[in-house]
Structure 1
Amino acid sequence: MNIELVKDAVDYGIIGLLGVMSFIAFWFWIERLLFYKGIDVSHFETKEELEIALTNNINIISTFGSNAPYIGLLGTVFGIIITFYAMGQSNDLDVKIIMTSLALALKATAMGLLVAIPATVFYNHLARRIEVVLALWDIHQKKKNAN
């Protein structure tokens, strides 16, 4: 088995997955912002209907934010396993090669954090926007009932 092929598959698989997750989280964040910008609370009969519309797709952003570090860590663990396997198959132990391989294995964890941090910020931003829109609905209902 070619260890370089396995290493490339792990690298591109993990980094690719994290890249896709990052793109999707960013896409849903923009989609939700545009939805919130154009929402009219008076079109909703109940607060539950409004809440369902407001919270659509934000669980995906939250899931990506909480799981991206684990996916990155999985890539790092695979990278370390591959490094140890290659060391075991080699007759010479070159410290430079070992340290370079371990450093490159850590890039998956770094990428996982680079996906998780913005996704968590996006989620928290949207959660606050949801609170504001729900409060506006309450205000609208009080005014409607006062008339």
Structure 2
Amino acid sequence: MEFLQANLDYLVLGTLGLMSFVMLALVIERYFYLSRVQVRQFEHIETLKIDLTRNLTTISSIGANAPYVGLLGTVLGILVTFYSMGKGGKIEVHSIMLGLALALKATAAGLVVAIPAIMFYNALLRKVEVQVARWQAWRDGSHP
């Protein structure tokens, strides 16, 4: 329990930081790819969709799971706070409130990662839809 108490912030915030870094790297890569892709080089719509949607699942998964990582950090932080209270034998309101406030920052950090990830995912998905529509218009003979 002492290990958890000493390293909980590093574990949770480090995990969320890594998730955020991966998400931003993939968003930047997808944005540049979707801006440069030539849809006319694809013969089949399914191969086009495969190339256009590469890495979007990872971005979406980070957006969906970051709040859970934050929530896990909060639950573990509350657990550590109650363990420390029980071990010390004293119940001091300021130490309880401080422990709970520190635990809740993990949930906030999870949301800070998740909200932009979902927004980026939706924006990139829209770019994919536009590129697919351009391919279909090109195939039908009505060039966009």
Q: TM-score range by the shorter chain?
A: over 0.9
C-alpha distance in structure 1 between counterparts of 2:11 and 2:37, whole Å:
39
- Letter paired with 2:116: P
Give the 3-state SS of the residue equivalent to 1:24 in structure 2. Answer: helix
- Show CA shifts across 1:89-147 (max 9, x none): 01222111110011000010000000000000010001100000000000110118x9x
Identity over aligned pairs, percent: 48
SS of the equivalent of 1:56 reads: coil
Q: Choose the corresponding residue for 2:124, options 126, 133, 142.
A: 126
What is the letter of the counterpart of residue 62 of structure 1? S
- When the two chains are superposed, the root-mean-square deviation of aligned CA atoms in Å is 1.4
Structure 1, unaligned runs of 5 or more: none
Match of residue 38 from structure 1: 36
Give me the whole-angstrom Cα distance separating, in 2, the residues matched to 1:8 and 1:114.
23
Deviations 1:37-77 (A, max 9, x none): 11001100000010000010010000000010011000000
Distance 1:6 1:125 in 2: 38
Equivalent residue pairs, number: 143
Q: Distance in 1 between matches of 2:81 and 2:90?
A: 13
TM-score by length of 1: 0.93
Give matches, 1:42-81, under 5 Å: 42-81=40-79
Q: Distance in 1 between the 2:20 and 2:138 partners?
A: 36
Amino acid at match of 2:88: S
TM-score (norm 2): 0.95
User: Whole-Å Cα distance in 2 between the matches of residues 69 and 91 of structure 1?
Assistant: 33
Which secondary structure does the structure 2 equivalent of 1:93 belong to?
A: coil
The structure 1 segments of at least 4 consecutive aligned residues displaced by more than 3 Å after TM superposition are: none
Three-state SS of the structure 1 residue aligned to 2:141 is helix
